Each structure stands twice: as C-alpha cells, then as structure tokens.
Chain A
Amino acid sequence: MSTEETTPPTSTGTRKGAAGKTAIAVIATAALAGTAGFVVANSTNDGAETPTTGSGTTAGEAAATVTDVEIPGENRGFDDVHTDEPLATTDWLAERLDEGDLHEQGIVLLDVSENLPNSDLTPYSEAHIPQAQYVEWSEEFTQPNTREFISADEFTELAQSLGINDDSTVVLYGDNNNWFAAYASWVFNLYGVEDVKLLDGGLHKWELYDERELVEEVPAVPAGNFEAEAQNHDIRAFQPEVLELAEENAEAGGEAAAAVNLVDIRSAEEHTGEIGVDPDIFQGEGAAIWGHIPGSINVTWTQIVDEETGEFLPAEEIRALYEDAGVNFDNPTIAYCRIGERASHTWYALSQILGEEVKVYDGSWSEWGNSVGVPVANTSGQRAGLWGQSGD
C-alpha cells in the first residue's frame, strides 16, 4: 500500500503505525469487496420466480399476481413463419383437385371450423370440400382442462396422422371467415410447419359465393413424417410481456407509448368497455372487467375482409387501414381478441400477408379481463363489468 512511500521507516514507532494502517486498509478492502460481491450477486433478477426470498426487503410490500407458468418454447425468429404466398385462391384449389390426389401433389387440405348453430354453411360431417380432413380446434389442439396447447410430441403425432410431411403445403379453411382456420394456421406455425396457406374466403367463398361442389367422402391418407419443433415464442405473447407494455402505456395516460403496437381486434363497443361479452353466444368467454388493454389500437377484424367474398383485402389496403388507425409498423405488433382466434385472423393478415413481426396474445381478453390488478382502460365513461353499475 501507499504507506511505505509516504512514511519513511526510521523508527519502530512509525513501523508499528504503518503496520496498523496496512491492516486497516486490508480489512477495509476486504469488507468492501465482500459487500460488493453480496450486492452484485443479489442485484440481478435470476430469482424472479421467488420474488420474496433472498432479500427480505420486498416481503410483504409487494406481491406478484401474474402467474408464472412455464411454457416450453424458443425464439426462432420469423424465417420459417413468413410464407411467400400465404393465400390460396379457390380457383387454385379447384385446379389442384382436378389434377387428382392432393397427397401426391404434396398438399394437405384441412377444415378447421367452429360449427356455430347459426351458421348457414354446411358442417364438415354433412359435406365438405373434396379431399379435406377435419381437425377439431379445441379437442385436438389443446390439453384437456388446461388452457394450453398440446405438447410438441403430441403435435407431431397429430400432424403425422394428417399426412403432413416436412415439405407439405398445408391449406386450411373453415367457416366463419376462416377464424379458426387462421387460429390453426398460427398453431401450425407455432410448432414449425413452414408452408401453411389459408384458402382465401374460406368455406363461405367456396360454398356460397363460388357455389362449388362439396362431398361426403372422408379421405384416407398415409402417415406423414413431420416432426414438430418447440413452440416459436416469437409469434406468441404471454401476459407478463403484455403487462409491461400496458403499464408503460397506462403511465403515459393510456397513449400507445410503448414501442410495441397493441392491436385489439374486438368490436368498438367491447374495446371501449361499453359492453361485455354476450353470454348467450360466447358462453365461457365472459370477462369480469370490461374495457381494453391501455394503449391498444382498435381495428375490428371485419374491416380487412371483403364483405361479399370473405377474402382478405389487397395488402396495401390492409396496411393503409392499420397505419391510419395509428399502428406504426416500424415496431412489432401484438394482437389480441377474446380467446385468440380472431386475433389469429389479424395475425394472418399482418404477419403472413404484410410480412410484419406480429405475435398473438392468445390469453386475450378472457385472461386479461379476469386478472386481478392488471391495468384496464375503459373509455365508455363509466365503470363497467361485474364491479360496475351495468354489471349483472
């Protein structure tokens, strides 16, 4: 230490003093280094799942309410998500069918429908587009009694049973403007199926607008060899991520301040919080709180489809529509609805047709609007939902 230079060692007295100073310096340095080690080790957020341990100072003052469920997945980017030609026309499909066996052409045609009782489209069980197979979106995609998709291994099993190979082109269609077909396309992309297309206009275009043929015959296909990858979390948003954005936006007075667009595709009344969910139609999708995630931009999904044919509008029109509504495509986007299926429809438009970086927050309002403590914006001018005057 510096003491040797400044105090000449002439007498025993000063030597003792020097030794004392050195000892103090060593102890001080050790104490400092020890504290530094402790503080640095304590300062990172590795222990996020146990926020009240390790420090003592946080216990009792705050509690994390957002559940910390682990969903396996990885961030694979958008290379195998974005598709060159994301839409198949009904003409194209009719030509393929004229040519013969779809499986031999490397195509797997799937019907993913909702089958609401008020639908005027023919359900698959009665008749469907030739060579189409049926996938039940709820039972086959999700784990029983859990709001999570089947595992990657189970998805492999499902995909192989549908005859999907690594190089297959999967064409999806369904009723109700392809809502659940779009949802399925998102799930297929989630597990790494690369070439997924939607039949533009869906069953509505095929059956009612084009008036093409439906058949009763259910095809039999040989098993495929597709192996599912882990979920690609670059296209799936979870509540904690959305919460960060919501808090940032809420702090900015409900403005879209965060560098991520939140797109709410529900109806304008649902967005403002004027109405909740009609339990007669959407049983099980109700929310205790009405309103929207702060800073979210409301573009209803119906605005991006042609009313007569049910086909998506041209890409430039879709882009202009969102930009006019305030979506900044320099930033990534997260879309939500009530349970994630219509948000998938919007995801399809923004991610697959426009080629942007988009996630679906599949928890959507049925998670958010029932969560304790999350910020909610209600712009209807009154308290609403279960704890509002208009609740029932």
Chain B
Amino acid sequence: MTVQVRPDRELGWTRADTIRTAVAVAVAALLLGLAGYLAATDGEGLGGSNAALMLLIGAGLGILFERGRYCFFCVFRDLFEKKNSRGMYAILVSIAVGMIGYAAIFSTRVPTPRGDNIPADAHIAPVSAALVIAGLAFGLGMVLSGGCIAGHLYRLPEGHLRSIPALCGVVVGFGLGFLNWDFMYSHFILGAPVPWLPAGNGYVLAVLLQLGALVAIGVWLLRWNPQVQGRGNRTVDATELRRVVFFKRWPALATGTGVGLLAILAYYKDQPLGVTQQISSLSRTGMTEAGWLDQFMPGLDERLAGCVAVVTHTITTNGWLILGIALASLAAALPGRRVRLEKATVFNSSTAFAGGILLGWGAMIGLGCTIGVMLSGTHAFALSGWVFGAAIVVAAGLGFRFGLHRKAAPGAFSD
C-alpha cells in the first residue's frame, strides 16, 4: 500500500519570530520571577505559602491547555461538528490519572470512606436539579461565548478577543447567580444527596467503576475517529524539536496525563483545581460592599464544597493559578506563531457577553466550572462531577448541532 505523505512545511525564522520569542522569554521570566518572589516572601499577604506553587501549577496548565488544546469548547466542537473525538481522549485520560492520585491521597486521609466523612476540601457537591440546570446553562454559554471559563483564560492570550466581553459576562453572571442563590438553594439544593462513590464501597470499587466508565466512553468514541495523516521519515533535530514542541498539537495522551498530574499536585498541596473561585469572589465582594448581598449566604458558607467565593480583599492562591494559566498560555503560544488577533465586532462581542453571563450563572449555581466541578469532581469520585459534565455535553451537543456558535460569531469558524 502506498501512503501519501504531505511534507512538513518549512518553518524558517523571520524577524517576527525573534520578537515573538523575546516576548515569550520575557513573559516566562516574569512568571518565574514572580514565583521566586512569592516563594521568598512565603506569599505573605498575597495568598500564603502555597501562592508560588499554585502560580506554577497554573503555568503548567496554561502550557498544557494551549499546546494540547485542552479546551472543552474546541473538543466538543470537534466531536459534534467535525465528528472527531480525538480531543476527548485528553479529557478522559486527565480524569483517569487524576482520580487515581486522588484515591491515593484520600486513602491516607480518610482510610474508611463513609457518607459522613466525605473529605470537606474536595469538590464533592449535592446532586440536584439545580446542578443539571447549571450544567445546561454553562454548556449553552460555552457554545455562545466561544469557550468555557478556563478556555477563555487561555484563549485570550492567543488573541481571542471575544474572551474579554465573555469574562466580563462571567463576572456579571456570578452576580446574578448570587442573587438567585437563596431561591435555588432552598428549592433544590438543600437536602439533596451528596453521592460520593467510595462511601460504603471502598476506593477500589470506585476506581474500577470510573475506569470502566472511561474505557467504555473511550471505546464508544472510536466511531468518530478520522484517519490520521502520516508524516514522512524524519530525524529529530533542533527544527523537528521546535516543530513538535511549539507548532504541532501535543498528543492527547501526554496532555491528559499532564493535566491529571497537576490536578493531583494541586489537591495534595493546596486545593482542587478550579478557575472560578477568585473571579466569583470579585463579584461577591463587590456586591457585598455595595449592599446588594447579605454577608452570609446559607449553604454556601456552611458546608458546600466547590469552587465558589468567599468575601475577600486579597488575591488567593486561586488567583495565582489563573494568572499562571494566562501568562504561560501566552508564553507557549508565541513561539508557535499562534497568537493571532481575531476580529471582534459589536455583535460577536455582545453574544460573547451573553454567553459569559450564562457561564458565570451556571458556574455559580453549579459551584464551579468544567475544571472545578467536572474535572475536580470526577477526580474526587463525586457523582456531581459526572452529572454536571453530562449536562454540559448535552447542552453543548445541541448548541453545536444547531450551529449557535456560528450564529453568535459569524465568520469566526472557517472550517
């Protein structure tokens, strides 16, 4: 059989590359310098002793998100629109790797898992209608705005200008969520069960079950797996290395493993991954000071675990994580010539803003986003992670089928 091999495009080195690389190095230096400063001062008044670590974990995530295209919007769009499931495997692998690490950490902290000793710091949330509604809103907001919240954080440095109105919308959406919270909490969430799969079953069964589910999904997704383009014989020289590291998308397996490992590290040292806590704190603190919110929010301030805000006047480790994602994404995108300003119009900005509101509202009521509830939830063997994820997939699937992302941003999607 003869195989058509498309030769790799010549990379070359232009003057613009010199500038891009210089900026990337400067950003990387800034990141490392900041981490060094936080480590030296022990994060005094700036998030505490874990600030430097979380900044670096954020940086790692930023690189993985950007280079591995670990973006729920892109992955679901590929799946539902282009019938290409390849990106899904990064998500599946990241869940598998992370949950095994979580199981190891849990087993040392809670040797006998029961329903009444659920680890309070993990993102294990009540499963109720509110969670489903939040997931649907979040999925729809993702399609409309062109990314989930973590996606916007890393796609903004790539030049995705719609992320700016989208993130503004997220802040507003959080505010609306806080205003609706009392209603949603008292009608749906209060008294809802908090299924934690290891409870009463042990960690082994929980791990096996989730692995089984992931494998089943993985096997099923093989049906939408287009042919892989071959590449010619090549030697690994400097150019090839540059191509593989900065230009080619990183393999799903490597990306997923990396995200899973960082999730374990984050939970072990500080708190589960999530990107919404600091943003929602911004909304909440502002609204509390303006007198629109009570100081105390029932449920939220009592026993619910999630990636949602406390009233704060300082940057938290979660803020450093977000900053790490954005800066590292920029540094990783630049050398691969992946920073391109996309056109932002009044129309596509307003749809991004509206989508952002849905994202923020969903993340508030659902107590987190794709990262905080879905990823960190499934890692922690919480049924809530699966339910939230399923709701997002359903909403995103419908959204992409009806082409809402194209209607929201005409001309943005060429292929």
Contact = CB atoms under 8 A, between A and B. Distances in A.
Nearest to A260: B302
Interface string A42-69: 1111111001001101100110100000
Contacts of B223: 2, 5
A25 B219 CA distance: 10
Contact of A43 (B201, B208, B219, B301): B201
Contacts of B222: 2
A241 to B, nearest CB: 10
Nearest to A55: B200
A35 B195 CA distance: 14
B194 A29 contact: no
A35 B207 CA distance: 12
Contacts of A332: 296
Contacts of A58: 112, 114, 200
Given A40-B195, A45-B115, A58-B114, A35 B200 contact: no
Interface in A1-51: 2, 5, 25, 28-29, 31-32, 35-36, 38-40, 42-48, 51
Contacts of A259: 301-302
Nearest to A48: B116
Contacts of A260: 302
Given A2-B223, A39-B201, A330-B311, A57 B112 contact: yes
Interface stretch (B21-29, B162-170, B209-217, B343-351): B209-217
A39 B202 CA distance: 9
Given A5-B223, A32-B209, A32-B212, A39 B197 contact: yes
Contacts of A29: 216
B200 A43 contact: yes
Nearest to A47: B115
A331 interface: yes
A54 to B, nearest CB: 6
A43 B296 contact: no
Interface string A157-183: 000000000000000000000000000
Contacts of B116: 45, 48, 51, 64
A55 B115 CA distance: 11
Contacts of B194: 44-45
A357 interface: yes
B122 to A, nearest CB: 14
Interface string B165-202: 00000000000000000000000000001111111111
Interface string B100-118: 0000000000011011100
Given A35-B205, A259-B302, A357-B296, A44 B213 contact: no
B214 to A, nearest CB: 10
Interface string A322-342: 000000011110000000000
Nearest to B116: A45
B129 to A, nearest CB: 16
B216 A32 contact: yes
Nearest to A56: B200
B383 interface: yes
Contacts of B120: 248
A31 to B, nearest CB: 8
A5 B225 CA distance: 12
A260 B302 CA distance: 8
B206 interface: yes
A40 B301 contact: no
B41 interface: no
Interface in A342-387: 357
For the residues of A in contact with B, the DSSP-based class is loop
A20 to B, nearest CB: 15
A11 B201 CA distance: 46
Contact of B114 (A32, A36, A45, A331): A45
A331 B205 contact: no
Contact of A2 (B205, B220, B302): B220
A54 B200 contact: yes
Interface string B372-402: 0000000000010000000000000000000
Nearest to B213: A32
Interface residues of A, number: 35
Nearest to A259: B301
A40 B383 contact: yes
Nearest to A52: B114
Contacts of A28: 212, 216
Contacts of A62: 112, 114
Contacts of A2: 219-220, 222-223
Given A42-B199, A57-B202, A259-B302, A51 B209 contact: no
Contacts of A42: 199-201
B295 interface: yes
Among B197, B200, B201, B209, the one with the most A-chain Cβ atoms within 10 Å of its Cβ is B200
A32 B383 CA distance: 15
B295 A57 contact: no
Contacts of A38: 201
Contacts of A330: 295-296, 311
B383 A43 contact: yes
A253 to B, nearest CB: 16
Contacts of A61: 111-112
Contacts of B115: 43-48
A55 B201 contact: yes
Nearest to A244: B303
B197 A35 contact: no
A246 to B, nearest CB: 14
Interface string A123-154: 00000000000000000000000000000000
A46 B114 CA distance: 11
Nearest to A54: B200
Contacts of B111: 61
A43 B112 contact: no
Contacts of B219: 2, 25
B195 A43 contact: yes
B193 A46 contact: yes
26 contacts: A2-B220, A2-B222, A25-B219, A28-B216, A29-B216, A32-B212, A32-B216, A35-B205, A35-B209, A36-B209, A39-B201, A40-B383, A43-B198, A44-B193, A44-B196, A45-B116, A45-B199, A46-B115, A46-B193, A51-B116, A55-B200, A57-B202, A62-B112, A62-B114, A64-B116, A260-B302
Interface of B: 111-112, 114-116, 120, 193-202, 205-206, 208-209, 212-213, 216, 219-220, 222-223, 295-296, 301-302, 311, 383
Name the 9 nearest CB pairs between A and B, nearest first.
A45-B115, A55-B200, A44-B193, A43-B195, A42-B200, A2-B223, A43-B199, A330-B295, A32-B212
Interface of A: 2, 5, 25, 28-29, 31-32, 35-36, 38-40, 42-48, 51, 54-55, 57-58, 61-62, 64, 248, 259-260, 329-332, 357
Given A45-B193, A48-B116, 11 more contacts: A28-B212, A39-B201, A39-B206, A43-B383, A44-B196, A45-B199, A58-B200, A62-B112, A259-B301, A331-B301, A357-B296
